[in-house]
Each structure stands twice: as structure tokens, then as C-alpha cells.
Chain A
């Protein structure tokens, strides 16, 4: 079973749909799972206790967890100097601490089986140093650093940890960003085109599969950076 955070919409949902299509068991986490049509549970990843409750249920129900995909994330496109403290805190709590909490608490379920793949999510904004995304990029740069070190910690247990860093993918996360802004970012990618959630799902499918058992601690840029 693969645990996917941010499963109710956007990339997380697209990833869940793809895995289910491939007959892979998915357990989705999101703050609101009312409209999630597969096994799921409400969870606020920025709360350690909330993630802990999920893990207790996974243990109790005896699920064999072989993967974790940390797709939950929030963005706020603002200059750092005009971003309220509460928003900065929320971005760090959800994107960075949320990823760390899920890794800390879900990984032991994989250590037991000495098998697993963890996929974290960063952004092309880290590599490109995009204007107006400094706090968001900072939270994701943290995820990249965490991914590389955590991959080493997990390697003895045959658990791989990688990070996908997409460019502007067509999801609700881009709400409020103009087409012009998106085009400007896309133009800086090595492959200057806006990719769809399906491209990210392709990469996820590869990273959870044993065909990628030589890859760990890597940051993979969708579109290239």
C-alpha cells in the first residue's frame, strides 16, 4: 500500500488516480477527504499528532506500507517582505515540517519490511530562484536537503528517498498566477513547456517501482532545471 498525502486534489489526486489505475493500493490523506473515492483518512500533515493518529490506524489495520508520497503542499506567491508572518509559518509548517513528520512516522512501517520508496515534492522555484516565491522556495529547499540526508539514513533498510521538483504544473496550486507568469517560468526550464499532472504521475510510477532501485537521494526536475 502506498500512502499519499494531499490526496484530495491537484498532483496528489492525479498520482492516486494513476496508482489505482495500475492496481496499486492507495491510502490517501488530506485535510478534507469527503469527496475522495478510495481508502483515505483526514489528516493535517503539519500536525505531528494528526500524522501519528494515521500511522496508528495503519498499524492497527495491518497494512503493509511500501511507499509514501508527500504531495501535500501549499504555495503563496508574494514578495517575502509583503508576506504575513502567519502565512510564512503555514508554508513552512505544511511543506517542510509536514514532509518531515510524514517521513519520520511512516518510514518505520517500511523499515520493518526492509523495502520502500518515499517521494517528496520540491519545486523548480528552488533551482531557478524565482522572484516572488522566496518563502515557498525556502520550504522546498528544506525538503530537498531533508531528502538527501534522509535517503542516507534509510539506505541500510532498503528504503529509497527521492524528490520530484516540477515546474508549473496545471493544478489548483497555480490559481492566481497569470498565464504570462507561468510562461516566464516555463521558458527557463530546459524543456520549455508546461507539463501536465500525468507527467508527474509517470515519474512517480517509475520511482515507486523496483526498476528505479538504483535511485535514491535524487532531486528530479520535471521539465529540467
Chain B
């Protein structure tokens, strides 16, 4: 897994598995948290753990407790797209 697109596909797939409404399609601008977010806190943690496992498979450590993860305005959990972008970015830096 190396391209932005393949990473995005993997992250979106992990999100899709956790959606209550299986008819929803995961898109770049799908909000994950907040008022219109599709994931409750429990699902969000499950997603983080799944991405942590995926990152370990690839060979890097996915950090979901960084300041960037927690900041509301620039949180990696704003949307599915921002999460995929952060996952890719961490992969590139840490690999």
C-alpha cells in the first residue's frame, strides 16, 4: 500500500465497516465526528484501533493521540478524507 489512493481506499473501507447505516457511501467530505458525524465515540475508538493494526502491518505506528488528532478545528477526524490524509502523511513520515 503506497499511493494516496490505495491508502484512502483502505481507510474508507475501515470506516464503512463501522457504519450503522450500511447504505451510506464513504466520501472525502463525510463528517466522522461532531453534530453530523457518522461515528459515535465507541466506533471512533474502534476505527483508531483498526487503523493502528493496519499501520503495524504496513510498518509504522499510527498516532491517534497527537495534538492534531485532538484539535477540533484541524482534527484528523473531521472527515473521512482528512483522516485518510493524516494516515498517509504519518505513513510517509514514519515509514
> Residues of A with Cβ closer than 8 Å to B?
56, 104-105, 108, 111-112, 153, 156-157
Contact = CB atoms under 8 A, between A and B. Distances in A.
A153 B45 CA distance: 11
Given A108-B49, A112-B49, A56 B61 contact: yes
Interface string B18-55: 00000000000000000000000110010011001000
A159 to B, nearest CB: 11
15 contacts: A56-B61, A104-B65, A105-B65, A108-B45, A108-B48, A108-B49, A108-B52, A111-B45, A111-B49, A112-B49, A153-B41, A156-B41, A156-B42, A157-B42, A157-B45
Contacts of B65: 104-105
Q: Interface size for chain B: under 10, 10 to 19, 20 to 34, or 35 or more residues?
A: under 10
Interface of B: 41-42, 45, 48-49, 52, 61, 65
8 nearest CB pairs, A to B:
A156-B42, A112-B49, A111-B45, A111-B49, A104-B65, A105-B65, A108-B49, A153-B41
Given A108-B45, A111-B45, A156-B41, 12 more contacts: A56-B61, A104-B65, A105-B65, A108-B48, A108-B49, A108-B52, A111-B49, A112-B49, A153-B41, A156-B42, A157-B42, A157-B45
